[in-house]
Chain A
């Protein structure tokens, strides 16, 4: 398998003496008999080599028994024995034509040309490009229809992945299948261990996964070992990076703050004398990140193996945050007999993480006229917000654990055409968390009387047993591939946590729960409080499935696929458990038709279409049940806690599967021998019977804000995806450019309705309980909801002329009376924007010249909005963003920035806080150099590459926050900046070595 090229540059010396050497010459041409200069010619097992020159001719010394190897980037390498000749001519062919590309699909592989579904394939080299512990980041901008957002820059944070829009109100994330094990995340994998990722997007390709495929499927194949020359290949990769905050938010300085406060109520006599504290500079600092990985892979007659061990460590740009991980990967395949194969894939990942408190939001609000420390060196009081440096100093929040994912399989070929495979996979994890807060006093609002210890343990085990029988036969012009299978899966979990106050000593040696060491200092009674023990409601389910797929190809031109899957889930009560998910697809490889011979420049033309139904059951396991809850009642003299039990919120025993009907039509085209390729898809997915929690009438007694789950919503996502790639070379520079564009249209079709309860879903709650998103029919999911504004009231006359709040004065925002009822109230709130982008762009450029390789990735997201929630909730005096300096101070001074105030009417959720979330970002730039092999071979190194790269180093965006990349795993709170840990710019250098 050819990797992207390591050009071997020789300076043309032939050294060591040999016996009976002759001079071999020849001409190297391409498939059009054009001469190829710059081709590397090497005598195998020696250090002799040369280049072909302008006319394609080369000269080299070799014996009659030697073998010559001809290598050129973008061309398939040829190995030709001299076999006694003195002239050896070679024709090199472009790589893609020689090796038919094979794509991994669910429960099998298929030739790309035979594919009827919409599948994108990413090879490992693209995944190791982005500096990150999350391989998903490598997909951003490479695959049409996929949006990867970092919701937080905190070390260890997982990104949110969306394939073709937001499909449901619940968990809208795709599933990952790693070597056959079905998982919800791949945080335990090192990018270096991945051989390829296939992204299954449409119904036909995901149908085989039935229930879990509704939001897309990402297949991950880890490295299995390569059939090399019999010797093991060792490689080492190391990388060291520095993360920096890309930009600070423009907040007011001490002087600016004092100026604005004086506009509200004269307080500061001389604003120039006001001290200035830049809280952001105090909490953020550059932080290092590094990773190392060693792997060994090889093959013998009957085994393939790949072993690796990796280490990753990331310090956060905020103190007290970090992530550290070791990854072990052990993959083996054994061919026991001609027909029986056994294999195992195993990943074990221990990790350690420290979590900082949310000082980002504190630093944003903290008054800049206050100094961080008192003259005696202790932490100063920061009114209403708390001193962020004290929060950091007193925080001790750690978690650590271990994750193991593994799969054992056996495959047997029976009767030549049948393959039976059984595999058993396990995903097990254990996590322990500890949090200790010492006793401290900074101010009456920021103090902790008794030290507090909280510890928790959780473990999850999920096993999956899959059995498939595959039939493959080619007869004449037809080929048939049929898969039938039966699978079972079960997930179980348990968690346990405890809290206690006032441990006898504060050092970490004492962070254990011995009741005699945890007590109330006034009376010695032990203060063990809140014990909680139970199962994780999202990790307690079982599933049985029957699956089948038939693929029929006629004359390699006409392709038909039919898939059927029947799933039974424990999350629904008997009677609603099973769902049926069929799908059909067809493809036509047009360029194989005889009439296409008239267009020789069209090297590939294929049309395909698919339709299918896929399901989703990702809700907590107990929503079908009506349960009880326990609580405490205080009775007695002296008062003491008595146990009590009563009814909790009622469940819904009628819950059933969500179903998504998806259709896709696609066109693939290749021109000029696939120098220019294009792939275009149109998709349309409608998800029905979405499980959503709806409000019920309060008199049912479920309690304030209680919700019950119903199958009561529908959502539609549709869009157009395109990818155009141009690969070519100029002189000796080989390059390729890819441009990707996707559009998404997301619309809610139904909410509540026939259940008689609720027709809108609120979300995006601010700290003061006000929702800023409203999902209702006709709008996208999570559409922003608030007042519309129209300039300011400049004078009292303006106020008298238009409806306004009773407390409004000149200088306030004019809120629009949307429903024209003559007053401004809650009913004037309306749709003010959408967090879902209209257009996603990706541009990838790669180039290589001799030993130098260069790549550039640009990502763009357009048409989405961001709600700047951190600016809105203001019960107390906080700092402001810079634009407040332009506040209204009298009629005519401005018509956009209302008069300064600490809080109140001008901070109601309105379009004043909606910003354009569009951005264009230079996601990745890498420059690498591979050392000429004759130098590296001197120290027994097959290949050495060094590189520098930068990630997220430049962003063009209008958003005033740290980063415009604001996502959320909660689809109803999408695109809202609550003041989260910023994503950083990363500069790295690294080395890859192969022995």
Chain B
């Protein structure tokens, strides 16, 4: 009897347990929000907006990690020791890269990751009920950054998949470059209407996108598309806002003293820690002095061609190039100590100097060790560039005298008070002034990722880069990485001749 009762109780307990057990198999994520529950509040909106800026600090944002835009141009060569990344990054020196080229997948993937994070704000924050001005500002910041990312994509690859949602469909094909430019311009115009001026930003908000940044980027986009009317309009808008001016010293334009300074229109903030998670940026470390002092890997070294192109006495040469034997901020530059592997001078068969071991001065940060390089704030847009864009657009619009005003402002700062160098330009012949401005851009903005696009958009790439291996009809664009083409299973087609 007792046995029967025990058996009954046993089975009853079991049934009760099993009935109440359905929740037992639910294990929610611990310490982590699901995408369905974020962002939903005003403070979530701020968090989501902040995240989009992290994309520009990512090492891969910089053309996949290595500065291949400068390496493809006549400004720089691969760098580091002779064997390091010879088959991967070295392929960009002489245009022998293919659709499996190094870094192409990293750059593309990181730009789209930035676009997704921007879409989280644009798509989701706009539905949060909070203060409208602030909400529009957040969305404006995200749209500025999305415009920046798409501009990088469309210049490098042409028409690309157009993604405006955080959860896009599979099997998207390539939109036309026209459609992408429409998207960029509408994003930037929204941004410039809803963002604040730089002078209105609090000190803790410095580094966020501003009206001036949106206008300057619009000028750059229109200039690339040869829409000189609009380029002139937006460049002048930035100039006439009186929000910006040139740093008195050229080296401060990119240097630590000019961080968030008067010349900075849009820059990437960073802290001196040796990892991305902690706030550091590896852009400068990749190009830092190799060996002694140990500041980095020493890639992207200024070329002999760049060195020779400066006008006599142009102080910007030493403001762009670090040579072995220099002393900067009290630190002696000895360079890479391994002569067998990283010679000081590379000669060709005829004993001509092909390259010299030297480094990019514009990413230098003072200090004692490698982590200080991670604190370098990369300038994505600076005022000198805006002045030169204005000058170029004005010249193209038939106003060479106005063009000269802004051109000479740049030269005047470069002079650094030494009146015997860099005399003011007085040319008013439009085609001659055009060449002069192109060269001025090279000397002012060398090693900053502009040269390659300047050559391509002005139609000078074949002339200047042909000897290095540039082929017209092919190398104006980069190939979409083969793995992305393979995964698309036919939805994406490759760029011509790759």
Contacts and interface: CB of A to CB of B under 8 A. Distances in A.
Given A634-B270, A635-B207, A444 B291 contact: yes
A639 B270 contact: yes
Contact of A650 (B35, B84, B87, B270): B35
Interface string A470-500: 0000000000000000101010000000000
A904 B114 CA distance: 35
Interface in B105-156: 105-106, 108-110, 112-117, 119-120
Contact of A645 (B47, B270, B489): B47
A632 B47 CA distance: 10
B53 A644 contact: yes
Contacts of B291: 444
A283 B26 CA distance: 51
Nearest to B47: A645
Chain A contact patch, size range: 35 or more
A420 B29 CA distance: 37
Nearest to A641: B279
Nearest to A489: B24
Contact of B21 (A415, A530, A544, A647): A544
A756 B486 CA distance: 10
Given A699-B161, A703-B110, A634 B279 contact: yes
Contacts of A757: 487
A825 interface: yes
Interface string B174-201: 0000000000000000000000000000
Contacts of A807: 86-87
A647 B120 contact: yes
A467 interface: yes
A736 to B, nearest CB: 48
B160 to A, nearest CB: 8
A237 interface: no
Contacts of A830: none
A635 B36 contact: no
Nearest to B85: A875
Interface in A682-711: 695-706
A281 interface: no
Interface in B48-97: 48-54, 57, 60, 81, 83-87, 96
Contacts of B36: 626
A876 B297 CA distance: 12
Interface string B20-50: 0100111101111111101100001001111
Interface stretch (A21-29, A59-67, A535-543, A791-799): A535-543
A697 B83 contact: no
B108 A698 contact: yes
A625 B117 contact: no
Interface string B193-213: 000000000011111100000
Interface string A866-881: 0000000011110000
Interface string A366-381: 0000000000000000
Contacts, number: 239
A826 interface: yes
B451 interface: no
Interface in A899-935: 902-905
B329 interface: no
A594 interface: no
Nearest to B110: A704
Interface residues of B, number: 97
B487 A695 contact: yes
A15 interface: no
Given A449-B369, A542-B27, A634-B279, A414 B7 contact: yes
Contacts of B26: 570, 574
Contacts of B39: 645
B238 to A, nearest CB: 20
Interface in B331-379: 338, 340-341, 368-369, 371, 375, 377
Contacts of A628: 32-35, 38
Contacts of A647: 35, 38, 116-117, 120, 166
A21 to B, nearest CB: 56
Given A636-B207, A641-B279, A699-B112, A631 B54 contact: yes
A778 to B, nearest CB: 18
B271 interface: yes
Residue in A621, A639, A695, A874 with the greatest tally of chain B CB atoms within 10 Å: A639
B113 A633 contact: no
A627 B32 CA distance: 7
A642 interface: yes
B48 A634 contact: no
Nearest to B90: A807
Nearest to A645: B47
A875 B341 CA distance: 11
Interface string A434-461: 0000000000110101000000000000
Interface string A398-425: 0000000000000000110000100000
Interface string A335-378: 00000000000000000000000000000000000000000000
Contacts of A903: 83, 86
A625 B51 CA distance: 20
A12 interface: no
A466 to B, nearest CB: 12
B88 to A, nearest CB: 9
A444 B27 CA distance: 49
A205 B83 CA distance: 57
Contacts of B24: 488, 490, 542, 544, 570
B142 to A, nearest CB: 10
A269 interface: no
Contact of B487 (A622, A696, A874): A696
A698 B109 contact: yes
Nearest to A770: B88
B25 A635 contact: no
B303 interface: no
Contacts of B495: none
Given A383-B338, A420-B10, A628-B35, A635 B50 contact: yes
A626 B34 contact: yes
Contact of B277 (A530, A637, A646, A756): A530
Interface string B395-435: 00000000000000000000000000000000000000000
A632 B206 contact: no
B170 interface: yes
- Interface centre among B163, B207, B208, by most A CB within 10 Å? B207
Contacts of B17: 488
B18 interface: yes
B270 A444 contact: no
B165 to A, nearest CB: 10
B195 to A, nearest CB: 14
Contacts of B368: 449
B33 A645 contact: yes
B300 interface: no
Contacts of A877: 338, 340-341
B464 interface: no
A529 interface: yes
Contacts of B25: 542-544, 568-570, 574, 577
A445 B7 CA distance: 73
B32 to A, nearest CB: 5
Contact of A902 (B18, B273, B341, B482): B341
Q: Which of B33, B57, B377 counts the most A-chain CB atoms under 10 A from its CB?
A: B33
B18 A486 contact: yes
Given A535-B30, A875-B84, 10 more contacts: A540-B30, A570-B26, A628-B38, A635-B207, A646-B47, A647-B166, A699-B161, A700-B168, A703-B113, A704-B113
23 contacts: A414-B7, A444-B291, A467-B14, A542-B24, A544-B18, A621-B27, A628-B33, A628-B35, A636-B204, A639-B271, A644-B49, A696-B487, A697-B488, A698-B108, A699-B168, A699-B172, A699-B484, A701-B113, A701-B168, A702-B113, A825-B100, A876-B81, A903-B86
- The 4 A-B residue pairs whose C-beta atoms are closest, nearest first, are A701-B116, A646-B51, A644-B50, A634-B269
